[in-house]
Amino acid sequence: MTIQVILVPVGAEYQAVMRGLKAVPHAPLVVAVPAGPAAFRAFLESWEDNSRFATQEILLMGLGGSLSPQHSVGDAILLEQVWDGSEGDGSEGYFCDRTLTDELAQRLGAPVGTGVTCDRVITTVKEKGRLGDRYQAAVVDMESAVLLETMPQAKVAILRVISDDCSHDLPDIAGAIGPDGSLRANTLARSFLKRPVAALKFISGSLQALKTLEQITLTLFNPN
């Protein structure tokens, strides 16, 4: 496995990956990227290393929401195909690099499935069910399709760890990520206060998923 660069959303996910790599000699380059499709696309288009990695092996890591009862909080899944869920009826599907994906899946003993990328956080059980049925997808995220579309020559693998399942509503945090990918702390706090039980479950799931993300990073890149 010769992954040249890891892309991971800025903040807690990036920090979890860096903790996982702390004891790893000769770790690949890790780049913190903005969350959300618009900000991520803008980043990739202006990324000074874009051409350097255009045909290299890239791993996009981070958290995702489950669209299937088969995948629970803390589960890891590799994506083989990702649909762009922001395109409505004109949705396009993109494929990850099969060889790299299979190699990572084998190393981790993790399943391989289909993902869908949306332009906001999907918070209700009803909408998750609709997305899962429409795309036959297991995971929803906000970045994967953008990477596959923007860097079509790269050998891309995508690893997601489930932070919220498909059987509970999240607090209404759809507006908590700004167009530039930044977290709006006040919006997040208000939505948590409105739904404290849902907020506690969401926080607990996120912490569990981040711990898994850290452990998986170490497993993947530790030569021992």
Residue 135 pLDDT > 80: yes
Write down the pTM of the prediction.
0.90
Average pLDDT over residues 13-25: 94
CA angle 9-147-21, nearest 5°? 40
Domain range 5-221, its CATH number among 2.60.120.260, 3.40.50.1580, 3.30.230.10, 3.40.50.920: 3.40.50.1580
Residue 152 pLDDT > 60: yes
> Does residue 74 or residue 200 have the better pLDDT?
74
Question: What are the DSSP E strand ranges found in 55-196?
Answer: 57-66, 76-84, 93-95, 112-117, 139-141, 155-164
219 Cβ contact partners less than 8 Å away, ≥ 6 residues apart: 107, 108
Average pLDDT over residues 149-161: 96
Residue 60 pairs in a beta bridge with: 7, 158
Average pLDDT over residues 2-15: 94
User: Predicted confidence band at 182 (pLDDT cuts at 50, 70, 90)?
Assistant: low
- Residue 222, pLDDT score: 85
